[in-house]
Amino acid sequence: MGNKMSHNGFTSATMAKEGGRTAYYKLLDETRNGDMVRVRRGVYANAEQLADIMIDVDMVVPGGVLCLFSAWNIHGLTTSLPQAYHIAVKRGRKITLPEYPKIELYHQTERLFDIGVEEMVVSGYHIHTYNKERCVCDAVKFRNKVGMDVCAEVVNSYLALPSRNLSKLMEYADKLRVRQILEQYIAIKL
């Protein structure tokens, strides 16, 4: 596929159609042959892209934000490799998930969704992810689901960072209602 037809490496049927009928039929042939994978309706990627450590999150789940294991991994807060892409979306959104790659959605209320969102470039893709402070708060908030060992690893990794921002961390902890538990962790560690 030519550069004109790809957006961060992903191809859409619309972009293929703009390249003319031949380009569109070539995309369909490549999908039938297994050279391209249908990620969701109208969005395609080649197998090499899907083997990469990152996907174009906005193309696969428009408006999605990397969270939990995926965000912890990007920020180097955990050694656990995510078994799926963990993506937060605003509650009430209807999302059709692709067969591949595996995605786990987390529906957030409007009030909590935007706390700590930042844009990063990972493997050439512009993605939205939660910042380190939000990641720590989420680890504490979901400690019973992710496991106490993972939660402790995330908190310890953050506290070891020279760039840590404890005032921002506590501000987020208040908003996400995990301040008391987080303060107990920090009192033990520091």
pLDDT tens across 141-176, in order?
Answer: 999 999 999 999 999 999 999 999 999 999 999 999
Look at the chain and report how many structural domains it folds into: 2
Q: Are 94 and 152 in a shared domain?
A: yes
The span from the first CA to the last CA of the chain, in angstroms, equals 53
User: What is the mean predicted confidence (pLDDT) over 12-20?
Assistant: 74
Between 119 and 51, the more confident residue is 119
Alpha-carbon dihedral of residues 92, 141, 101, 7, nearest 10 degrees? 70
* pLDDT of res. 53: 57
User: What is the mean predicted confidence (pLDDT) over 123-146?
Assistant: 94
Answer whether residue 52 shows pLDDT above 60: no
Q: What is the 3-state secondary structure (H, E, C) of the chain?
A: CCHHHEECCEEEHHHHHHCCHHHHHHHHHHHHHCCEEEEECCEEEEHHHHHCCCCCHHHHCCCCEECHHHHHHHCCCCCCCCCCEEEEEECCCCCCCCCCCCEEEEEECHHHHCCCEEEEEECCEEEEEECHHHHHHHHHHCHHHHCHHHHHHHHHHHHCCCCCCHHHHHHHHHHCCCHHHHHHHHHHHC
User: What is the mean predicted confidence (pLDDT) over 24-52?
Assistant: 64
CB 151 within 8 A of CB 140: yes
Q: Are 64 and 114 in a shared domain?
A: yes
Q: Are 71 and 158 in a shared domain?
A: yes
Q: Are 35 and 112 in a shared domain?
A: no
* pLDDT of res. 166: 94
pLDDT band at 59, cuts 50/70/90? confident
Instruction: Please name which of 1, 56, 41, 58 lies closest in space to residue 24, comparing C-alpha atoms.
Output: 1
**Token digits for 132?**
């380190």
pLDDT band at 83, cuts 50/70/90? confident
Whole-structure pTM over 0.95, yes or no? no
Q: Are 42 and 63 in a shared domain?
A: no
User: What is the mean predicted confidence (pLDDT) over 122-144?
Assistant: 93
User: What is the mean predicted confidence (pLDDT) over 165-188?
Assistant: 94
Domain, as residue range, for 185: 57-189
Q: Are 76 and 31 in a shared domain?
A: no
Separation of alpha carbons 186 and 182, rounded Å: 6
Q: Are 99 and 182 in a shared domain?
A: yes
Q: Are 98 and 175 in a shared domain?
A: yes
Separation of alpha carbons 189 and 164, rounded Å: 14
pLDDT band at 97, cuts 50/70/90? confident
Q: Are 64 and 120 in a shared domain?
A: yes
Q: Are 170 and 109 in a shared domain?
A: yes
Q: Are 105 and 27 in a shared domain?
A: no
Q: Please state which of the ranges 41-45, 82-86, 133-137 shows the lowest mean pLDDT.
A: 41-45
* pLDDT of res. 127: 92
